[in-house]
Amino acid sequence: MLVGRDIPEPDADRGFGDGYESAVAAIGALARTLASRDTGTPFLGTHIEQLVRGESPDAVIDAVRRAAAAATDVLLFSYAATGQEHGEAPDGGEQWAGYPGGRRSVLARVADVMRDSGATRLVVLLDCGDAVTAAPHFIQPPPPARPRHRAPLSLLGASRGLLFGSEIDPFTSTLTRALQAGVNGGPETLDLVTLRDAVEAEFTELRYRVENEYVPGAKQLLLHGGHEVALGINRAYPPDPAYPPRYRGAFFAHPDAVREVEGY
């Protein structure tokens, strides 16, 4: 289940830069990659549903319920939204991210549905302004008064932000490119730990390409679990590990590999 929402953000247009990358476009590219045989992902195209037309919270919950009812192995939920999702919904309705322990939110309800599913592995990808706020909905254990089966959860995500009017390090599209190109020196399959390291390496490499003293350090990603499920095969995995080449377009395996190449 992949959800993409492009939220109007008044502060994004400051007369320069390109603003936020479209969450809808990024989710579409991720969906095509997850359904591609070239990346060897464990997902069938017929089992991937996209909600990118501004569906209501209830429509999203209903779709997640359908996916949860059908899942027997991996249940994946990806949420991408542009802009900063602040505490109060603009129309006075339900918040999307919310705060754990506070008023109910859409993502908290999604987390409940996923925990109640029959899936043996749960995967969550978060790419929104309030990713740090949203992640605990999925990570925190269910209330003791409501016992549920405890399928292992893998979560990877990042909060979104602008730098000089542009989003220079979008998470979802960078993750998609890592799945498409592979990870140089990485393992044969791309679990979320490997993908976290590769995406952070790409963000680190970007800092070396952009020679600007005002650019902050590489954006840090949120990771919980990550070893339990792979999202694809590593297209850059060498036939002979003793001679790992630098595949064209492949990501570095870790930020330290970038620093070594750059001489730092």
Up-side HSE of residue 155: CA atoms within 13 Å toward CB?
Answer: 21
**pLDDT over 70 for what percent of the chain?**
77
pLDDT, position 10: 46
Give the pLDDT confidence of 185-206 residue by residue, as tens digits. 899 999 999 999 999 999 988 8
Q: Which of 166, 158, 154 is nearest to 225 (CA)?
A: 154
Instruction: Answer whether 3's CB lies under 8 Å from 61's CB.
Output: no
CA distances from 205 to 175, 199, 202, 218, 261 (A): 15, 10, 5, 9, 10
Q: Is the pLDDT of residue 146 over 60?
A: no
Strands 153-159 and 222-224: antiparallel
Instruction: Answer whether 258's CB lies under 8 Å from 205's CB.
Output: yes
Give all domains of the chain, ordered by start, each with its CATH number: 2-262 (3.40.50)
Instruction: Answer whether 171's CB lies under 8 Å from 160's CB.
Output: yes
Give the pLDDT confidence of 61-100 residue by residue, as tens digits. 999 999 999 988 999 999 999 865 544 454 556 788 876 5
Give the pLDDT confidence of 55-69 residue by residue, as tens digits. 999 999 999 999 999
Give the pLDDT confidence of 161-193 residue by residue, as tens digits. 877 777 888 999 999 999 999 999 899 999 999
Four-CA torsion 97, 99, 101, 102, nearest 10 degrees: -90
CA dist., res. 258 & res. 7, Å (int): 34
Q: Is the pLDDT of residue 244 over 70?
A: no
Res. 26 pLDDT band, cuts 50 70 90: very high
Q: Which of 169, 143, 141, 139 is nearest to 156 (CA)?
A: 139
Give every CB contact of residue 84 below 8 A, 6+ residues apart in sequence. 9, 11, 129, 130, 160, 161
Q: What are phi and psi of 224, to 5 degrees?
A: -135, 130
Res. 226 pLDDT band, cuts 50 70 90: very high
pTM of the model: 0.88
CA dist., res. 70 & res. 90, Å (int): 34
